[in-house]
Amino acid sequence: MKEYNDISDLIRDGENETLEFKSSFNTELIETLVAFANTSGGRVVVGINQKNELTGVSLNPESVQNWINEIKSKTSPPIIPDVEITLLGSKTLVFFIVKEYPIKPVSTRGKYFKRVANSNQLLNISEVVNLHLQSFNTSWDFHVNNQFQIDDISLEKVQKAIDAINQTGTIITDDPLTFLIKSDLIRNQQLSNAAYLLFTEKDTVLTTIELGRFQNDIIIKDSTRTKSDVLSQIDQVMDFVKKHINKEIIITGQPRNIQRWQYPLEAIREIIINMIIHRDYRLSSDSIVKVFDDRIEFYNPGRLPDSITVEDLLSNNYKSTPRNKLIADFCKSIGLIEKYGSGIRRVITYFEESKLPQPVFRNISDGFLVTVFAGGKSNAINDDTDRDTDRDTDRDTDHRKDLILKEIKNNNRISIQKLAHSCHVSKSTILRDLKKLKRSGLLKRTGTEKSGFWEVLDTPDTN
pLDDT at 441: 85
DSSP lists the bridge partners of residue 458 as none
214 contacts: CB under 8 Å, gap ≥ 6: 220, 221, 290, 291, 292
Average pLDDT taken over every residue of the chain? 85
Residues 439-457 have pLDDT tens digits of 888 888 888 776 788 888 8
Residues 337-379 have pLDDT tens digits of 765 556 788 899 999 999 999 999 999 888 999 999 996 433 3
Residue 260 has pLDDT above 70, yes or no: yes
Beta carbons of 113 and 34 less than 8 angstroms apart: yes
Comparing C-alpha atoms, which of 37, 44, 58 is closest to residue 10? 44
Q: pTM of the prediction?
A: 0.61
Question: 459 vs 79, which has greater pLDDT?
Answer: 79
Say how many C-beta atoms besides its own lie within 10 A of residue 221's C-beta.
Answer: 11
How far apart (Å, rounded) are the C-alpha atoms in residues 408 and 427? 15
What average pLDDT does this structure show over 327-334? 89
List, in order of start, the domains of the chain with CATH numbers.
7-123 (3.30.950.30), 141-202 (no CATH), 206-373 (3.30.565.60), 394-456 (1.10.10.10)
Beta strand segments in 178-267, E: 186-187, 190-191, 209-214, 220-226, 247-250, 258-261
Comparing C-alpha atoms, which of 115, 91, 85 is closest to residue 18? 115
pLDDT at 435: 87
139 contacts: CB under 8 Å, gap ≥ 6: 133, 322, 323, 324, 325, 326
- What sign for the dihedral angle of Cα 364, 366, 367, 368? positive
pLDDT at 316: 76
How far apart (Å, rounded) are the C-alpha atoms in residues 228 and 237? 11
* Confidence grade of residue 396 (pLDDT, cut at 50, 70, 90): low
pLDDT at 346: 87
Residue 383 has pLDDT above 70, yes or no: no
Task: Give percent of the chain with pLDDT exceeding 70.
Answer: 88
What average pLDDT does this structure show over 385-409? 64
Beta carbons of 390 and 426 less than 8 angstroms apart: yes
217, 223, 229, 233 alpha-carbon torsion, rounded to 10°? -70
What average pLDDT does this structure show over 95-110? 90
What average pLDDT does this structure show over 229-239? 97
H or E element at residue 456: strand 453-456
How far apart (Å, rounded) are the C-alpha atoms in residues 269 and 273? 6
Task: Give percent of the chain with pLDDT exceeding 90.
Answer: 49
What average pLDDT does this structure show over 59-79? 92
